[in-house]
């Protein structure tokens, strides 16, 4: 695996810009709604909200709302609202994640906790969650509130399970997949479910597109966990190695501890237990030689193939083409 560079990261951003061309107008509407909803009369709160604009990054989740709607044949005025809602929830989870991980950098800028402290970051995350539900409640029914609320519950449960298992060097694959199904895939799957349902399509199609979103989320998190070990902070724009520092076992590490040579496993366990500053560098060859890196990418690829299979329920369109391309992007990105 080659290390991602800043140039690759810029190309990655340009790729997403091209992919989102069919929903450019709706994405602009969602961004306007996002900013209008979060606007505050208090200058300090407004400054925090504007700082969070840097957190939005790829905007994959709002794009999934709009693309699945388009793939089902109809985008309604509710869709940009829903896109803004899921982006608020996602941004709130990032703000809270940075507190938990003590991260200093995100999107090449200081995190809220690094700049203003943990207390402010926690309150800002809560502020974003509250606005998300307030905005969802502006729609004609409470359905979006219920679905987004359930997804947020699953995100929190996944994060709490991960916290519970910090330092557990015997964490198994099923437990890891259960964690990431909550902390990441719950929000990508509900984004697709919302997009399809509010387009008025039949329930079987809604279920299939929700499955697409779930598999995309699983693959995205596996790729993120690989990048935490092999990535370049100049490309990712965020603090790396935090999983190792916090003794969070991810798929490559779980696989290494399960099938690695005894001496490699012994070294890996010591590095993980000590949470050393050079653990990333020293674990990389062990992960590569054991096949754990290839194994993790193969699992991510399996989820991408499953996601592509779920797309077969919708007919050909520019929106479906983008959903296919997004699936491939997830396992080829550098940030």
Lookup: tokens for 59 = 């905007």
| pLDDT in the model for residue 17 | 72
Sequence-ordered list of residues with C-beta below 8 angstroms from that of 180, at least 6 positions apart, any chain: 158, 217, 218, 221, 222
CATH class of domain segment(s) 6-312: mainly alpha
CA 114 remoteness from chain centre: 21
Nearest 5°: CA angle at 117, between 111 and 122?
A: 80
Q: Give the pLDDT confidence score for residue 105 in this predicted structure.
A: 82
| 53, 121, 224, 270 from 220: Cα distances, Å | 21, 25, 6, 28
Instruction: List, in order, residues 6 or more apart from 17 with CB less than 8 Å away.
Output: none
pLDDT for the residue numbered 228: 84
Per-residue CA distances from 94 to 87, 101, 114, 156, 232 (Å): 10, 10, 13, 12, 19
Judge contact between 183 and 159, C-beta under 8 A. yes
Q: pLDDT means per 10 residues in the chain (335 residues)?
A: 45 72 95 94 94 78 97 96 97 92 80 93 95 95 96 96 94 97 97 98 97 97 90 52 81 96 94 81 92 95 97 96 93 70
Task: Indicate the pTM of the whole model.
Answer: 0.91
Alpha-carbon torsion, ordered 260, 265, 271, 274, to 10 deg: 140
pLDDT score recorded for residue 172: 96
The answer to whether 8 touches 57, Cβ cutoff 8 Å, is no
Beta bridge partners of 106: 109
pLDDT at position 56: 65
pLDDT at residue 65, rounded to an integer? 98
State the pLDDT at residue 246: 81
Confidence at residue 57, expressed as pLDDT on a 0 to 100 scale: 67
The three-state (H, E, C) secondary structure of the chain, written as one string? CCCCCHHHHHHHHHHHHHHCHHHHHHHHHHHHHHHHHHCCCCHHHHHHHHHHHHHCCCCHHHHHHHHHHHHCCCCCCHHHHHHHHHHHHHHHHHHHHHHHHCCCEECCEECHHHHHCHHHHHHHHHHHHHHHHHHHCCCCCCHHHHHHHHHHHHHHHHHHHHHHCCCCCCCCHHHHHHHHHHHHHHHHHHHHHHHHHCCCCCHHHHHHHHHHHHHHHHHHHHHHHHHHHHCCHHHHCCCCCHHHHCCCCCHHHHHHHHHCCHHHHHHHHHHHHHCCCCHHHHHHHHHHHHCHHHHHHHHHHHHHHHHHHHHHHCCCCHHHHHHHHHHHHHCCCCC
pLDDT at 231: 65
What residue spans define the domains of the chain? 6-312
């Amino acid at each position: 695996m080659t290390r991602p560079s800043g140039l690759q990261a810029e190309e990655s951003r340009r790729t997403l810009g091209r992919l989102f061309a069919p929903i450019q107008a709706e994405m602009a509407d969602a961004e306007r709604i996002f900013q209008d909803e979060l606007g505050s009369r208090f200058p300090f709160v407004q400054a925090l909200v504007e700082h969070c604009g840097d957190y939005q990054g790829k905007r994959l989740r709002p794009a999934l709302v709009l693309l699945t709607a388009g793939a089902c044949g109809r985008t309604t005025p509710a869709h940009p609202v829903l896109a803004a809602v899921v982006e608020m929830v996602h941004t709130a989870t990032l703000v809270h994640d940075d507190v938990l991980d003590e991260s200093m950098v995100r999107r090449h800028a200081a995190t809220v906790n690094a700049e203003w402290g943990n207390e402010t970051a926690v309150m800002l995350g809560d502020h974003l969650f509250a606005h998300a539900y307030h905005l969802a409640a502006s729609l004609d029914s409470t359905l979006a509130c219920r679905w987004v609320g359930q997804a947020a519950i699953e995100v929190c449960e996944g994060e709490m399970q991960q916290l519970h298992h910090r330092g557990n060097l015997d964490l198994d694959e099923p437990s890891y997949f259960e964690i990431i199904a909550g902390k990441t895939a719950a929000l990508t799957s509900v984004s697709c479910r919302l997009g399809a349902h509010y387009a008025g399509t039949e329930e079987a199609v809604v279920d299939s597109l929700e499955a697409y979103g779930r598999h995309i989320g699983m693959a995205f998190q596996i790729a993120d966990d690989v990048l935490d070990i092999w990535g370049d902070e100049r490309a990712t724009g965020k603090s790396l190695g935090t999983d190792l520092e916090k003794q969070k076992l991810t798929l490559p590490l779980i696989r290494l501890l399960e099938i690695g040579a005894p001496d490699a496993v012994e070294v890996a366990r010591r590095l993980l237990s000590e949470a050393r500053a050079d653990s990333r560098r020293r674990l990389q060859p062990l992960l590569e030689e054991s096949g754990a890196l290839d194994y993790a990418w193969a699992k991510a690829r399996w989820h991408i193939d499953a996601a592509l299979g779920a797309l077969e329920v919708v007919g050909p369109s520019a929106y479906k083409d983008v959903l296919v391309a997004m699936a491939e992007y997830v396992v080829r990105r550098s940030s």
